[in-house]
Amino acid sequence: MTGRLVSISPIDGAALGEVSVDGADAVAAKIAAAAEAFAIWRAVPAPRRGELVRLWGAALRARKDELALMVTRESGKILSEGAGEVQEMIDICDFAVGLSRQLHGLTIASERPEHHLIERWHPLGPVAVISAFNFPVAVFAWNAALALVCGDSVIWKPSEKTPLCAALALDVFRDAVSAFGDAPAGLMQVVQGGADAGAQLVDDPRIALVSATGSTRMGKAVAAAAAKSLKRTLLELGGNAAMIVAPSADLEMAVRAICFSAVGTAGQRCTTLRRLIVHDSIADALLPQLKRAYASLPVGDPRAETTLVGPLIDERAFAAMRAALAQAAADGGVVHGGERVGDGPGWYVRPALVEMPSQTDIVRTETFAPILYVLRYRDFLEAIALLRDVPQGLSSSIFTTDMREAETFLSATGSDCGIANVNTGPSGAEIGGAFGGEKETGGGRESGADTWKAYMRRQTQTVNYGRALPLAQGVRFDV
């Protein structure tokens, strides 16, 4: 990709603006600048690094409305989701500031007298963040805030569908750098472009970690390329979230959770609810409620306060949705909804409910659109088997008031996903918990908990404070 990259709003097809595409030479120069910045930043005390992230959080608070509106205009999210995404950036900054004083290692008992062992964590190196259109700023911040306090420099390659969000987010970060005073040039950079720019970042040996969010196909390509130099990867890939609704479930609460989880962001989240596994005894009571709720969902311009379902990102997404629904019908599914809303610019759709006779290949496939496949079960272990019988393993949930069912769902024989929720939907996550999944979801973790260790290198140090030189395991080597 060369020249200029034009940003097209999914709301109405209007051109929002354009950015310059970084060619191979420009990308190489930014990698070199990131390496130079890392050499300086790694020596800055971690609490001082945390001060920059604190200032970044303050800058985000000051410009939250501006950035949130850009998220809505460029990705099509409704206003509250756009604001929520920027709030995630603020939250991870708060988390990272505290973390900057808690990069703890261990002291380890030694088998040798007058020795001790120390586990110490050091900055890793320049980090490349490759993000997707559906979370155009938050996923970047999950990575960047932690990487910065860990002593790393950051290069961000955003989706070519949301370049203006990245440009504005970088401008907000520059506000923090200005207030900070002495951050090295090249500490945070954006590379604008397509897959070729991302591939160049992955291939360059100076990049120590690649954190990539996107499709499983993309993640496999990143992993294969990174493996050539044994480079670290942190992969957040496809999802196919399921919810089990058990006989004891609170159906009113379940309907609310299903609606947000299945149609929020127009079904374009990796944690979107795509499979509803309902006990046969309550399916006939739940489905009419769900159909009524779906029929009442306001679909339209996401800038309107009353809208709950905005547009798909582009025509390609609409075509994929139509193809999936056609296949589901061919497999014996009964389709409710899924039609296009309006004939003007923008790809607006009515969310679809599809009653399926079984979990077919199309159900096992992630389609990035508001399609919810409904499956019935009779035995709880059958429901668990359905939940697990997909290639992806990101998020899952169960609605039940039966303690045995809930605990089985959370056990090693229950959900095989990285995220498992009880009596709440699978979509959405708090920054305090590590975010990520298993199987073809990639296995990486972003955001909270102990994820910071992915951005650092572990070193085991042995200190001998005595006058003898005993060897481990009782080895004798007298010279």
| Angle formed at CA 430 by CA 426 and CA 433, multiple of 5 degrees | 95
The dihedral sign for the CA sequence 26, 24, 133, 130: negative
What lies within 8 Å, CB to CB, of 325 at 6+ separation is 335, 338, 352, 354, 371
Listed in order, strand segments (DSSP E) in 100-159 are: 107-109, 115-123, 127-130, 154-157
CA distances from 55 to 60, 61, 174, 320 (A): 9, 10, 10, 42
Shortest CA distance to 33 belongs to which of 257, 190, 231?
Answer: 190
CA distances from 394 to 177, 267, 437 (A): 35, 15, 4
Please identify which residue in the block is written with the tokens 């399921």.
242
Radius of gyration for the chain, computed over Cα atoms and rounded to the nearest angstrom = 24
As a 3-state breakdown, the chain gives helix, strand, coil percent values, each rounded to 5, of 40, 20, 40
Active site residue 270: yes
Task: Give the end-to-end CA distance of the chain in Å, rounded to a whole number.
Answer: 64
Written as six digits, the tokens of 43 are: 């020596």
Catalytic residue from among 165, 259, 270, 417: 270
The single-letter DSSP state of residue 184 is P
Written as six digits, the tokens of 257 are: 């959770």
Catalytic residue from among 85, 160, 236, 366: 236
H helices then E strands: how many in the chain? Answer: 14, 21
Active site residue 36: no
Distance CA 313, CA 241 (A): 20
CA distances from 127 to 135, 155, 229, 314 (A): 19, 6, 15, 30
Q: Which residues are catalytic?
A: 236, 270
